[in-house]
Structure formats: C-alpha cells, structure tokens
Structure 1
C-alpha cells in the first residue's frame, strides 16, 4: 500500500478520523458514502491529494489496518449480491445494515412497532421501505371503487414481497423485507436512537407506523399485533396527525374503517374515535371493509361496517 496520509498526521489519529467520518453513516458504508468519507478526509488534509478513491478503499479494507471488512447481502429469489463495508473491531446495528440497501429508506411495519416499543415481540425479519424508481399512479377518483371490487381484492391472500435479502452478522442470519414506497417526498419519518447506530435509525413515526400496519397487517404480525399496538399507543397517539398521513396516502380502499375498528377494540374514547369519523372520506363510508385479506370465519361489525377475523377480540 502507498503511504496515503500526510506525514504531519499521527498514525494513531488516522483510525479515529476514518471512523468519525463513517459514523455519520452508522459505520455501514456503500459506494456513495465511501466517497463522502474519502472527500471529507481530503478536505481535512488527512489524505494526500494524489491518493485515489480506489487506493483509499484498499487502505480501509486492509486487514493490517483493522478498519473495515466486506459484508455480503444476498437476495433470496435470484442470488443477487450487494456488498457493504462494516467495521472489523466495533459492532454495527442490523437495522443500519438493512437501511443501506436503499437510499432514503426507513424501517417500517413490525420492525417500526418494535423500535417504538409498541410490541413485546422481537420481529425476525427487518421491514424497510425503499424509494420507488417510478412515481405512484395518480390518486383514484371518487366513485372508482365498487363493493364487488373490494370483496374480490380482500378474498385473495395478501401479496408478499419477493425482494428479500439475507445477511450473516455476529453469528445470526438476518432477513430484510425491502418494500416499496411512493417516489414522492415522505412525511411522518423520524429517527430513533438504537445501539451501535450513532446517527440514529430512520423509522416511520408512531402515527405513520400504525397507518401502514393497518393497511398491510401481514407485515406487522397480523391484525392481533396491530390491535395490541393501538392499545399501547392509546395515551400518546396523535390522531389528527395519523389521519393527515392516511389522507396523504391516497388509498383506494376505506382504511379509515380499519383504523376505527382498532381504536374501538383498543378502548379509545368516543371523542378520539370521532376525530376519525369526522375526517373519513364521505365517498368511502358506504362500503363494507375488511380488516385482513383472505379471512376465514370472519365476523361483521355492523356499526363500523367492517369484517374482522374470528378470535381477535379474545386476544
């Protein structure tokens, strides 16, 4: 390896400088973040100007320097591999590794429930939402939906993503469900502290998490888990914010009813529930909704107008 640093830089200070810059990216480096670390060290006059990005990458991957190593993530259905750089001598968050699969990604669904303390379970797959390459279709015009279409859509099993990556870290195999979100700028995203993630983990906020779980309960452990999450969020949930996010989603189906069902069974007050009913879309109130897809032994709540799985009330 060439001598890549200025002579005035003390050898003992170099690893700390490299790791300090990489901590901005939670110490999980992709090609773009490697370049940013490289540029930052050049600007701070650590690196000689003649040192190339390729030489710098070889330096931080050198076993002799004990800085970074490669981690391979493999897509299950076709074996496609992506490579990330992680530290050799300090731990990183599996959530940070999962988020490195896509730019502008955030942790969602069951994983977000866990990070917000809305479930006692530790979900095995990590759910991450990634930006779409194409914009979402325009919002559906009122009147497009029929009850027959709704019945047909929810009679089928839920479609699950094939975009699943696996990686081995610290003796554990992790799965990442890479879900798509719209190409528009997202609202309702926050950051939460997590072990070994100095910059925090991007995650859907509580309100956005509950909306997304109500829409796709199959990625949240099922309707029973979503109901329990609504119970745990009862004292802190910002209902108006939740309804703003639901409206921004431009959903075709009447998911207001799903949210109202969870709130009703979770013991929310009449005033809290009225904040949902008052903001429900008028063109959706006449439909009979479904809490989950492909339910067997379903029951009807005639007051809300929604089918729900038998046994959920006893959980």
Structure 2
C-alpha cells in the first residue's frame, strides 16, 4: 500500500465507515456483557449503612447505659467528706453550676463533687510543679521572693482550668446538637405526620439521629423517659431545652408547649419550626462565609505578601547585582 492509496478519498471514507460501524457494534453489544453496577453499588451502600447504623446504635446504647450508671453513681466517700467539711458546695457552686454540668453531659451528684475538688486541688498540684521548676531549673541568681510570686500566680490560674474545660465541653456539645437538630426535626415531622405519638417520635428520632450526634440522641431518649413518668409534659420539654442550651431546641420546645396548651396541630408547629431552623443554619453558614475575608487578611499579610514581593523583586535584584559585578 503506497502513500497515494492512503491519501485517497476512498480509503479515508472506508476507514471512517469502519470506525463508525465498530463503534456502533461496540455500543450495542457492550451493555449485554457489562454488569449492572448501579445495583451492586446500591447493595454495597445499603450494607454499609446497616453496618453503620448497627455500630452507632450499639455505641448509643453503651453511652445511655453509662449515663444511667452515672445517675446512680455516688461520689467517693473521701471526696464527699472533703467537700462537705470545707463547705465548698455553698462557696464555689450554685444552681447555675449544676445546670452547666448538665449542659456538658455530666449528670448526678458525683460530677459536682469532682468539679469542686478539681477547683481546689488543681491549684495546689500546679503550685508544687511550679515551685519545683522554679528552684531546680531556673537560675539561682533570681530572688526567691520572685520565684514564689511567680509560682503563686501560676497556681492561681489553675483555679480557672476546670471552668475552661467545662465551657469547652459545653460548646462542643452544643455545636454537635445544633448541627444535627434540623435533620432530627425533619424526622420528627415525618413521624408525627405518619400517626405516631410525640413519645414514639422522640424515641424513633433518638434511634436514627445517633449516627450524626450521640449527644442529641441521648437527650431525646431522656426526654422520652421524662414524657412517660413526669406529671406535666411541659416540664419534660423545658428540661430538654435547659440541658441542651441551643436556641433552636428552645424555640421548638416552646412551640410544642403552646401546641399542647391551645390544642393546635403538633405537625404544623414542627413544620414551621423546621423551616425556621434550616433558615437559621443557612444564615449561620452565610455569616461564617462573610467573616472569612477579614480572618484571611492577617495570614495573607504574614505569609503571602512576603513571598510575592520576593518573586517580583528577585529578577530586578539579580539584574542590579550583575550590573554591579561588571
């Protein structure tokens, strides 16, 4: 086959026809031999979802059993005697301290004694470490009174460490509940509109939302129990809003209380609050996106601009150095 034959119009037309026929045959025959990947993927996703659900339910049951155990646990005798002897409950705690411990997920009387003991014992432990460091590591030329004052100041900061830990725990828990609450509210709406009672809806949502937030699932399970044995359902709703500390949960609980008081449909109240909750979450996302440019200003000034100036000025500096060399 010479070059003229390859360059001829007939050869090119035959080549294109062969490619077209081959493509058509391939497109018609290939689906017959290929497996249905969609069914396989959906089956694998369903199996993985069942595994995740079983694992999260097991973890939720374990956390609930730990929570029930913590409700029955009592503080150690020595710690209780220490706190009661020094009268620390009246000096360092009040009703707000108990509420903050509940918001952090610590229930019962034992966490309060642990918290008060930590506020007293931690400064002493820090003072011992600081005095050891000051007299064994720091130079001996420093005055002893300066070292002691330094150790006392460091030990004084230890009294605020339990409060900082508690605040951090509360913030993390509120964030977890706040992120999962719109989805839990949608699930609750589906359950209520399908004919389930509000207790059954809370229990069902607690089982399903555990994959996303263990804290919210635990609180809703406790609310289900309170709805069963408390004389007033309003008290159970108020307890849930106090334990979570999330504004969205408080608004929904107020709506449920008003719906039961005035006889309005619960589904309508939950649907309205679900829309408002999703709007609030979108508004929070927009606020975070709007606050991003100011937050990036300092990193850009410290890290990006010096490198940019170096790249721009390097050729000019190199040319000046070459000119001076000659």
TM-score, with length taken from structure 2: 0.21
Higher alpha-carbon Rg: 2
Which structure is higher in RCO with an 8 Å CA cutoff and minimum separation 6? 1
Structure with greater proportional strand content: 1
